[in-house]
Structure 1
Amino acid sequence: MLRQTFIAALFACASVAHAETRVPQSQAEISMGFTPVVKQAAPAVVNIYAKIVRQGRANPLFTDPFFRDFFGDGFGVPQPRVQNSLGSGVILSEDGYVVSNYHVVGAATEIRVVTTDRREYSAEVVLGDRESDIAILRLTEAEDLPFLTLRDSDQVAVGELALAIGNPFGVGQTVSSGIISGLARTGTATGNARGYFIQTDAPINPGNSGGALIDVNGDLIGINTSILTRSGGSNGIGFAIPANLVAEYLDQARAGNERFISPWAGMAGQHMSADIAESLGLAVPEGVVISDLHALSPLAEAGLSVGDVITHVDGEEVNSPAEMKFRMSIAGVGGTSVLTRLKGADRQEIEVALIPAPETPASEETTLGDGTVLPGLVVARVNPSLITRLGLSLSQEGVAVLDPGALGARAGLRPGDVVNAINGTAVVRPEDVVGALTDPGRRVQMDILRGNRSVSLRFRL
Structure 2
Amino acid sequence: MLRAALTAATLTLASLVQAETKVPTSQAEISLGFAPLVKEAAPAVVNIYAKRLVAVRESPFQGDPFFQNLFRDFGTSRPQVQNSLGSGVILSADGIVVSNYHVVGMATDIRVVLNDRREFTASVLLADEANDLAILQLNEPESMPYLPLRDSDSVEVGELVLAIGNPFGVGQTVSSGIVSGLARTGAAAGTGQGYFIQTDAPINPGNSGGALIDVNGDLIGVNTRILTRSGGSNGIGFAIPANLVAAFVDQAKAGNKRFEKPWAGATGQPVDADIAESLGFSRPGGILISALHPESPFLAAGIAPGDVILAVDGQPITSGAEMIFRMSVAGLGGTAEISGIIGGQPDKVEVALIAPPEVPSRDTVVTSRRSVLPGVVVSNLNPALIAELGLPLKEEGVVVEELGEFGSQVGLRVGDILLAVDNTRIEEPKNVEEALQAASRRVSITVERGSRRVTLRFRL
Same fold by TM (over 0.5)?
Answer: yes
Task: Report the Cα offset of residue 124 of structure 1.
Answer: 2.1
Q: Which residue of 2 aligns with 1:49?
A: 49
Q: Which residue of 2 aligns with 1:280?
A: 279
d(CA) in 1 for partners of 2:405, 2:203: 40
3-state SS in 2 of match to 1:276: helix
3-state SS in 1 of match to 2:305: coil
d(CA) in 2 for partners of 1:140, 1:417: 41
Q: Which residue of 1 aligns with 2:106?
A: 107
3-state SS in 2 of match to 1:328: helix
Q: Which residue of 2 aligns with 1:366?
A: 365
Q: Is the 8 A contact 1:200 1:239 kept in 2?
A: yes
Q: Which moved more, 1:177-186 or 1:425-434?
A: 425-434
Q: Is the 8 A contact 1:337 1:354 kept in 2?
A: yes
Task: Report the Cα offset of residue 320 of structure 1.
Answer: 0.6
Q: TM-score, length-normalised on structure 1?
A: 0.89
Unaligned runs of 5+ in 1: 9-19, 63-75
d(CA) in 2 for partners of 1:415, 1:143: 44
Q: Is the 8 A contact 1:280 1:344 kept in 2?
A: no
5 Å matches for 1:191-270? 191-270=190-269
Q: Which moved more, 1:436-445 or 1:376-385?
A: 436-445
Q: Which moved more, 1:96-105 or 1:53-62?
A: 53-62
**1:306-360, CA deviations, whole angstroms, 9 ceiling, x for partnerless residues?**
1110001000000111110100000001000000021487310111111100000
AA of the residue aligned to 1:33: G
The structure-2 alpha-carbon separation of the partners of 1:194 and 1:30, relative to structure 1 and needing over 3 Å to count, comes to closer
Q: Which residue of 2 aligns with 1:72?
A: none
**In structure 1, which of residues 11, 23, 28 is the aligned counterpart of residue 26 of structure 2?**
23
d(CA) in 2 for partners of 1:429, 1:96: 47
Q: Is the 8 A contact 1:185 1:197 kept in 2?
A: yes
Unaligned runs of 5+ in 2: 13-22, 63-74
**1:6-64, CA deviations, whole angstroms, 9 ceiling, x for partnerless residues?**
xx9xxxxxxxxxxx972167xxx5675211111111111111111122222143789xx
- Residue correspondences, number: 431
3-state SS in 2 of match to 1:405: coil
Task: Report the Cα offset of residue 388 of structure 1.
Answer: 0.6
AA of the residue aligned to 1:328: M
The structure-2 alpha-carbon separation of the partners of 1:436 and 1:247, relative to structure 1 and needing over 3 Å to count, comes to same
Q: Which residue of 1 aligns with 2:94?
A: 95
**1:147-188, CA deviations, whole angstroms, 9 ceiling, x for partnerless residues?**
110000000001100000000000000000000001000123
Answering whether residue 401 of structure 2 is matched by residue 402 of structure 1, we say yes
3-state SS in 2 of match to 1:39: helix
Answering whether residue 146 of structure 2 is matched by residue 138 of structure 1, we say no
Q: Is the 8 A contact 1:86 1:207 kept in 2?
A: yes
Q: Is the 8 A contact 1:189 1:226 kept in 2?
A: no
5 Å matches for 1:236-385? 236-343=235-342, 346-385=345-384
d(CA) in 1 for partners of 2:202, 2:42: 16
Q: Which residue of 2 aligns with 1:147?
A: 146
**1:126-145, CA deviations, whole angstroms, 9 ceiling, x for partnerless residues?**
21111111111112122311
Q: Is the 8 A contact 1:189 1:227 kept in 2?
A: no
AA of the residue aligned to 1:198: I
Q: Which residue of 1 aligns with 2:19?
A: none
5 Å matches for 1:47-86? 47-59=47-59, 77-86=76-85
Q: Which moved more, 1:198-207 or 1:128-137?
A: 128-137
Q: Which moved more, 1:271-280 or 1:177-186?
A: 271-280
Task: Report the Cα offset of residue 424 of structure 1.
Answer: 2.4
CA RMSD between the two structures: 2.2
Q: Is the 8 A contact 1:368 1:375 kept in 2?
A: yes
d(CA) in 2 for partners of 1:61, 1:431: 40
d(CA) in 1 for partners of 2:327, 2:26: 36
d(CA) in 1 for partners of 2:194, 2:260: 16
Q: TM-score, length-normalised on structure 2?
A: 0.89
d(CA) in 1 for partners of 2:252, 2:342: 39
d(CA) in 1 for partners of 2:81, 2:282: 57
